[in-house]
């Protein structure tokens, strides 16, 4: 665990100079923009409910929108992507999972949830499922992808449901998962990148553009009396989401500036008690190096606006492969 060791409340931060580039200090304790510093890093106990030792849920960030949630021996992964192929490889080659990174960083999983099927959410899923024996929950595109990769049908779960029906619910050990229809940020010149479905997987491995978005889910997780919400893209369907005051929102930062008033809508529609930001990192960089914020994410603005819109919520990040107890 490489969480910072300072004791100051980590969600308090200083103003930033948005003109300067964002860097994380070598010790991983704070994000620095030029000469300005802000340190919205959660310490691992910052979000833990008081007086409930031994029944805490472990939330570990795997980079991008990837998380591992662990409770009493059961592990559920969300959008795990540890291969982090270089930009050159993404442009020029078919994408192949990094078996060594997968073995090192996602050695066990009882279930894998795929929020949508862009490559930075879905590329590693079949390989992790093959390694761990995990069940896979996702869209028809996710099922198609996993089927083409040779996973047995019995472990593949299409959770799209029929239009207008209640969200599909699944149980994985102590976890209850509810798959709310959601939306993807229109981050590519006002459009969803690589839209449509993965309908034909005869040519696995695919190139990056073959990983079509498919259906998008906001995943409500109930475990040990806590509610956690995973938003793997920086967009939501406010009117129908129906998840209020979760203990923790796992919120994707990538593309948030393309989603009108996202921080304020999150505050109104969800009112989370805490927000752990994801997908702000340069995911063309190896998982074995510290996370580097992409300046285009404007992380400091997102933190400020979420904090202003939702004053009671703690808003922060964790180091790559770091985590919090909830
Ligand atoms: Zn995406």
Q: Is residue 42 part of a domain?
A: no
**How far is the centre of ligand 1, averaged over its atoms, from the C-alpha of 274 (Å)?**
23
pLDDT confidence of residue 139: 97
Whether residue 160 is contained in a domain is answered as yes
What pairs with residue 70 in β-bridges?
58, 75
Q: 246 in a domain, yes or no?
A: yes
Output the CA 7–ligand 1 centroid distance in Å: 35
pTM metric for this prediction? 0.89
What was the pLDDT predicted at 28? 53
In a domain, 201, yes or no: yes
Task: Quote the number of domains for the chain.
Answer: 1
At residue 284, the pLDDT reads 94
Is residue 31 a part of any domain in this protein? no
DSSP 206: P
Q: What pLDDT sits at residue 265?
A: 96
Cα 180 to ligand 1 centre (Å): 16
pLDDT value for 24: 55
Kindly state whether residue 12 falls inside one of the protein's structural domains.
no
Question: Can you give the CATH number for the domain in which 119 is found?
Answer: 3.60.15.10
Domain of 225, in residue numbers: 53-325
For residue 118, how far is its CA from the centre of ligand 1 (angstroms)?
5
Give every residue of the chain whose pLDDT is below 50, as ranges.
1-22, 39
Domain assignment of residue 8, yes or no = no
Q: For residue 290, is it within any domain?
A: yes
């Amino acid at each position: 665990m490489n969480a910072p060791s300072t004791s100051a409340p980590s969600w308090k931060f200083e103003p930033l100079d948005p003109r300067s580039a964002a860097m994380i200090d070598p010790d991983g304790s704070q994000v620095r923009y030029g000469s300005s510093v802000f340190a919205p890093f959660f310490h691992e106990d910052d979000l833990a409910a008081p007086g409930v030792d031994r029944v805490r849920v472990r939330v570990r960030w795997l980079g991008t929108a990837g998380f591992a949630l662990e409770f009493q021996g059961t592990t559920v992964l969300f959008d795990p992507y540890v291969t982090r192929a270089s930009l050159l490889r993404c442009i020029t080659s078919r994408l192949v999972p990094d078996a060594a990174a997968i073995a090192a960083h996602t050695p066990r999983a009882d279930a894998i949830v795929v929020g949508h099927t862009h490559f930075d959410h879905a590329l590693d899923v079949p390989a992790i499922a093959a390694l761990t024996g995990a069940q896979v929950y996702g869209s028809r595109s996710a099922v198609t992808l996993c089927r083409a990769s040779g996973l047995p049908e019995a472990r593949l779960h299409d959770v799209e449901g029929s239009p207008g029906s209640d969200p599909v619910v699944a149980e994985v050990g102590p976890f209850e998962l509810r798959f709310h229809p959601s939306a993807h940020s229109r981050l590519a010149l006002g459009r969803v990148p690589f839209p449509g479905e993965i309908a034909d997987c005869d040519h696995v491995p695919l190139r990056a553009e073959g990983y079509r978005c498919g259906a998008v889910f906001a995943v409500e997780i109930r475990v040990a009396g806590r509610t956690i919400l995973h938003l793997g893209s920086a967009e939501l369907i406010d009117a129908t989401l129906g998840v209020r005051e979760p203990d923790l929102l796992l919120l994707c930062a990538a593309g948030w500036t393309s989603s009108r008033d996202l921080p304020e809508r999150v505050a109104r529609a969800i009112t989370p008690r805490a927000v752990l930001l994801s997908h702000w990192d340069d995911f063309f960089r190896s998982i074995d190096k510290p996370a580097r914020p992409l300046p285009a994410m404007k992380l400091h603005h997102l933190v400020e606006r979420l904090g202003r819109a939702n004053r009671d919520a703690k808003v922060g990040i964790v180091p790559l492969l770091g985590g919090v107890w909830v």
